[in-house]
Amino acid sequence: MGDKHENGSATRRRRTTISGGASAKRANGSTPASGAEERCLRNGCGAANGGAKAREAEAPARKEKSGDAADERLSCHSLQESLLSSASGYSNYRGILNWCVVMLVLSNARLFLENLIKYGILVDPIQVISLFLKDPYSWPAPCLVIASNAFIMAALYTERRLSVGTISEATGTFLYFINLSVILCFPAATVLTVTSMTSVGGVFALGVYTIVFLKLYSYMDVNRWCREIRKAKARTLSRSHSCPSVSRANGAAAHALVTYPGNLTHRDMYYFMFAPTLCYELNFPRSSRIRKRFLLRRLFEMLFFTQLLVGLIQQWMVPTIQNSMKPFQDMDFSRMVERLLKLAVPNHFIWLVFFYWFFHSSMNFVAELMQFGDREFYRDWWNSETVTYFWANWNIPVHKWCLRHFYKPMLQRGVNKWVAQTAVFLVSAFFHEYLVSIPLKMFRLWAFMGMMAQIPLAWFVGRFLRGNYGNAAMWMSLIIGQPIAVLMYVHDYYVLHSSQAQGGERGVEL
């Protein structure tokens, strides 16, 4: 009797440890053990995975089969954790993710319906044209864009002079300084003074000029590096070795390698100006052919997402913003927060659609058309666990430019990493403010402060939040931070223009 009891408890001990292992295996989502294997494990035969040991165990196991079946009926519990407790090691939440998507679709379908019932259809494609043009006979934004060619040519001819040594490096730097300063000041002055310029037209023109500024800065740096390398080579090698024969530049039909100063051609310059990058290279990686199906897919996406963006803005964003003005004027705090959270949803959708439209569809379309090989326009910013990871991964063209032409040169000069990062964010904040304040003709510094706030936010998230908490903080800053800035600008614009209108009316009365 005592013996029997001891054997029983030993078997139970074996069973609890082994079956615990089996269920842990199941819980992790790996292939469950076959029925025979699992029975074997539960009953303690141990080597269910095959091998000599298992074959040896098979014979007595068969003999004990009838006994085991009885044993199985007696016990139906094992030592195991609940799936939702972290100790279970369970990590397969695919169904929960699907549930989130279904809930998201359903709740937004309700919002969509509510919006339609309340406002009717507000989408008006004709109104989009009026955002770009005030007067059909005056096209200031496209004229400004065409004028940018003068600055591009100025950079090319400066480089040609520098390459043959007819002007010194100091003179070249001075000419670039003038050229780049005018690139920033001339369009800003035009946008501020030309009355037929709309705000959206102004953003478009200033956006093009900002891109030209960043590209020409990169062009200047790379050509200077080429001259430095050429000088260094000339010192060490014979003349015939240091100046290999010039080949075709970027943009030529055959993608032969080009060497400095063979790159200083109109074709190369305009290839760079249209290429989806801000960083110049003498020989960009090139794809072997244009994939027509890929191109058509991207084109279809561009058209579809443009419509979607217009629809979302006109139907959802504009009425929500209009409804938000009163709580902001009355300084009704609880209503302000409610409006802010209401605006956060369409604003975030628009941002996500814009991200896909611009960084995936449009950039890939242009790259495919130009056979531009480097398609890394974004990385997995959605998995960011820190703010710095987000800024280094969501907009790769800008990040690459910042690293190559600003951040790394500063670090190489011995500047402290934090100071260098702050300087990058300062420059980025300047350009954000430049692109918003000048077209709106209103200087409020909200965009500047929003960008600069990233530095303390990065420190806070890096110091106190990690993993999923860090990722949630990144999403929160995106979802809530942007509508705050949008509401601030819209509110100030509304207050400014309504007070101007009232002032005008009073002036007329007087």
Ligand X SMILES: CC(C)(COP(=O)(O)OP(=O)(O)OC[C@H]1O[C@@H](n2cnc3c(N)ncnc32)[C@H](O)[C@@H]1OP(=O)(O)O)[C@@H](O)C(=O)NCCC(=O)NCCS
Measured from the CB atom, the residue of 411 and 488 that comes closer to ligand X is 411
Tell the smallest beta-carbon distance from residue 314 to ligand X (Å).
Answer: 24
Q: Nearest distance from residue 377's CB to ligand X, in Å?
A: 12
Q: Establish whether 432 is a catalytic residue.
A: yes
Using CB positions, name the residue nearest to ligand X. 428
Q: Are 302 and 365 in contact (CB under 8 A)?
A: yes
Least distance in angstroms from the C-beta of 366 to ligand X: 18
Torsion of CA 253, 257, 262, 266, to 10 degrees: 30
Residues lying near ligand X in the complex (CB under 6 A): 388, 391-392, 395, 398-399, 402-403, 407-408, 411-412, 417, 421, 424-425, 428
Q: From the candidates 255, 399, 405, 432, which is the catalytic residue?
A: 432
Listing DSSP states for 196-261 in one string gives TB-HHHHHHHHHHHHHHHHHHHHHHHHHHHHHHHHHHHHHHS-HHHHSPPP---TT-SS-----TT
Instruction: Rank residues 344 and 424 by Cβ distance to ligand X and give the closer one.
Output: 424
Choice between 16 and 393, CB closer to ligand X: 393
| Planar angle of CA 334, 336, 338, nearest 5 degrees | 70
Rounded CA-CA distance 317/315 in Å is 6
Which residue, among 388, 392, 359, has the nearest Cα to 477 in the 3D structure?
388
Burial class (CB in 10 A: 0-12, 13-18, 19+), 389: buried
Shortest distance (Å) from residue 193 CB to ligand X: 27
- Tally the C-alpha atoms within 13 A of residue 86's C-alpha that lie toward its C-beta: 0
Residue with smaller CB distance to ligand X, 207 or 319: 207
Closest CA to 390 of 319, 323, 315, 481: 481
Rounded to a whole number of angstroms, the minimum distance from the CB of residue 480 to ligand X is: 18
Judged by CB, which is closer to ligand X: 38, or 385? Answer: 385
Q: Residue 197's beta-bridge partner residues?
A: 133
- What are the structure tokens assigned to 311, written together? 């629809």
Q: Dmax over Cα atoms in the chain, in whole Å? A: 114
Which of 249, 424 has the CB closer to ligand X? 424
Structure token pair of residue 363: 């950039």
Is the bond preceding residue 483 a cis peptide, omega within 30 degrees? no
Q: Alpha-carbon distance 301 to 298, whole Å?
A: 5
β-bridge partners, 173: none
Which residue number, 106 or 419, has a Cβ lying nearer to ligand X?
419
Q: How far does Cα 161 stand from its chain's mean position?
A: 39
SS3 78: coil
Shortest distance, CB of residue 435 to ligand X, whole angstroms? Answer: 10
Distance, CA of 263 to CA of 336 (rounded, Å)? 56
Catalytic residue ranges: 432
